[in-house]
Structure 1
Amino acid sequence: MPRDPSVIVIGAGMSGIGLAVKLKHAGITDVTVLEKADDIGGTWRDNTYPGLKCDVPSAFYQFWFDRNPDWSHFFSHGAEIHRYFRDVVDRHRLWPHIHLGTEVTSATFSENRWRVTTADGAVREADFLVSATGVLHRPVVPDIPGRDAFTGAAFHSARWDHSIPLAGKRVGVIGTGSTGMQIVTALAGEVGELTLFQRTPQWVLPIPNWRNGRVTRRLRCSVPGATALEYRLVRAIFGIFVAALIRPGWQRRAVSAACRAYLRTVGDPELRRKLTPDYQPMCKRLVICSGFYRAVQHPDVHLAAEGIERIEPSGVATTDGRHHELDVLVFATGFDSHAYLRPVELTGPDGRTLSQEWAGGARAYRTVALPGFPNFFMLMGPHSPVGNFSLIPVAEVQADYVIAWIQRWRRGEFTAAAPTAEATDTYNAWLRAAMPDTVWTTGCDSWYLGPDGTPEVWPLSPQRHAAMLRQPHTDEFTVV
Structure 2
Amino acid sequence: MGRDIRVVVIGAGMAGILAAIKLNQSGFRNFIVYEKADRVGGTWRENSYPGLTCDVPSHSYTYSFEPNPNWSHLLPPGPEIQAYFEGVAQKYGVEPFFAFNEEIVRCAFEGGRWHIETASGTRDAADIVIAATGVLHHPNYPSIPGLDSFAGDCFHSARWDHAVPLDGQRIGVIGTGSTGVQIVSALAGRAGKLSHFQRTPQWVMPTVNMAFTDEQKAAFREQPMLLRAVQNDPGYLEIAWNWTEAVVDQNSAMIDQFEAAGRAYLEETVQDPVLREKLRPAGRAGCKRLVQSGEYYQAIQHPNAALVDAPIERVEPTGVRTADGVLHELDLLVLATGFRTDQFLRPMNVTGRDGVALDDAWAKRPSAYMAISIPEFPNLFMLNGPTAPVGNFALIDVAERQWAYIAHFIDLIASGRVTEVSAKPGAFDRYEADRIAAARNTIWGSGCQSWYLDSEGVPSAWPWSYRHFASEMATPRFDAYDMRTPEMANANGQTAAAAQQPVPAE
TM-score (norm. length: structure 2) = 0.93
Which of 260, 266, 274 does residue 257 from structure 1 map onto?
Answer: 260
- Structure 1 vs Structure 2 CA RMSD: 1.2
What code does the residue aligned with 1:288 have? Answer: Q
Aligned residue runs from structure 1 range 259-278, under 5 A: 259-264=262-267, 265-278=269-282
What code does the residue aligned with 1:91 have? Answer: K
Structure 1 residue 235 and structure 2 residue 237: aligned? Answer: yes
Q: Which moved more, 1:458-467 or 1:414-423?
A: 458-467
SS of the aligned residue for 1:59 comes to helix
SS of the aligned residue for 1:329 comes to strand
SS of the aligned residue for 1:29 comes to coil
Partner of 1:52: 52
Partner of 1:129: 129
Partner of 1:167: 167
SS of the aligned residue for 1:225 comes to helix
Q: Check whether the contact 1:243–1:251 (CA below 8 A) recurs between aligned residues.
A: no
CA–CA distance in 1 between the matches of 2:447 and 2:228? 38
Partner of 1:385: 389
What code does the residue aligned with 1:294 have? Answer: Q
Which of 397, 400, 407 does residue 396 from structure 1 map onto?
Answer: 400
Aligned-residue offset at 1:100: 0.5
What code does the residue aligned with 2:55 have? Answer: D
CA–CA distance in 1 between the matches of 2:184 and 2:323? 22
Partner of 1:88: 88
Alignment deviations for residues 151-173 of structure 1 (CA, whole Å, 9 cap, x no partner): 00111000001001111110000
Structure 1 residue 419 and structure 2 residue 451: aligned? Answer: no
Structure 1 residue 110 and structure 2 residue 110: aligned? Answer: yes
Partner of 2:477: 473
Aligned-residue offset at 1:278: 2.2
Q: Check whether the contact 2:245–2:466 (CA below 8 A) recurs between aligned residues.
A: no
TM-score (norm. length: structure 1) = 0.98
CA–CA distance in 2 between the matches of 1:246 and 1:232? 24
Q: Check whether the contact 1:205–1:258 (CA below 8 A) recurs between aligned residues.
A: yes
Alignment deviations for residues 86-128 of structure 1 (CA, whole Å, 9 cap, x no partner): 0001001111100000000011111211111100122101110
Q: Which moved more, 1:385-394 or 1:169-178?
A: 385-394
What code does the residue aligned with 1:106 have? Answer: R
What code does the residue aligned with 2:198 have? Answer: Q
What code does the residue aligned with 1:258 have? Answer: A
Partner of 1:221: 221
Aligned-residue offset at 1:401: 1.5
Partner of 2:488: none
CA–CA distance in 1 between the matches of 2:353 and 2:439? 34
Q: Check whether the contact 1:244–1:255 (CA below 8 A) recurs between aligned residues.
A: no
Alignment deviations for residues 418-459 of structure 1 (CA, whole Å, 9 cap, x no partner): 111111000111112322442112111110001111100011
CA–CA distance in 1 between the matches of 2:359 and 2:72? 43
Aligned residue runs from structure 1 range 313-392, under 5 A: 313-392=317-396
Which of 435, 458, 461 does residue 457 from structure 1 map onto?
Answer: 461
Partner of 1:141: 141
Q: Check whether the contact 1:286–1:388 (CA below 8 A) recurs between aligned residues.
A: no
Q: Which moved more, 1:141-150 or 1:249-258?
A: 249-258
Summarize the Cα distance change of 1:388–1:348 in structure 2 as closer, same or farther, 3 Å threshold.
closer
Partner of 1:211: 211
Partner of 1:288: 292
CA–CA distance in 1 between the matches of 2:392 and 2:438? 19
Percentage of matched positions with identical amino acids: 46
- Gaps spanning 5+ residues in structure 1: where? none
CA–CA distance in 1 between the matches of 2:353 and 2:207? 50
Aligned-residue offset at 1:31: 1.6
Aligned-residue offset at 1:287: 0.5
Q: Check whether the contact 1:450–1:456 (CA below 8 A) recurs between aligned residues.
A: yes
Aligned-residue offset at 1:388: 4.9
CA–CA distance in 2 between the matches of 1:388 and 1:167? 37
SS of the aligned residue for 2:444 comes to helix
CA–CA distance in 2 between the matches of 1:142 and 1:224? 47
Partner of 1:246: 248
What code does the residue aligned with 1:58 have? Answer: S
Partner of 1:79: 79
Aligned-residue offset at 1:228: 2.2
CA–CA distance in 1 between the matches of 2:327 and 2:75? 37
Alignment deviations for residues 383-427 of structure 1 (CA, whole Å, 9 cap, x no partner): 111115211000111112122111111222211111111110001
Aligned-residue offset at 1:460: 1.7
CA–CA distance in 1 between the matches of 2:430 and 2:392? 27
Aligned-residue offset at 1:67: 1.0
Alignment deviations for residues 187-234 of structure 1 (CA, whole Å, 9 cap, x no partner): 011110000011111110011001001221122222232222222213
What code does the residue aligned with 1:221 have? Answer: R
SS of the aligned residue for 1:472 comes to coil
Q: Check whether the contact 1:5–1:406 (CA below 8 A) recurs between aligned residues.
A: no
Q: Check whether the contact 1:394–1:462 (CA below 8 A) recurs between aligned residues.
A: no
SS of the aligned residue for 2:459 comes to coil
Structure 1 residue 18 and structure 2 residue 22: aligned? Answer: no
SS of the aligned residue for 1:363 comes to coil
Paired residues, number: 480
CA–CA distance in 2 between the matches of 1:298 and 1:288? 19
SS of the aligned residue for 1:33 comes to strand
What code does the residue aligned with 2:341 have? Answer: S
Partner of 2:177: 177
Partner of 1:410: 414
SS of the aligned residue for 2:342 comes to coil
- Gaps spanning 5+ residues in structure 2: where? 485-506
Alignment deviations for residues 6-56 of structure 1 (CA, whole Å, 9 cap, x no partner): 110000001111111111111112120000011110110010100000000
Alignment deviations for residues 271-325 of structure 1 (CA, whole Å, 9 cap, x no partner): 1111112201110000011100000011110111001000000001000000001
SS of the aligned residue for 1:107 comes to strand
Summarize the Cα distance change of 1:240–1:462 in structure 2 as closer, same or farther, 3 Å threshold.
closer
Q: Check whether the contact 2:110–2:353 (CA below 8 A) recurs between aligned residues.
A: yes
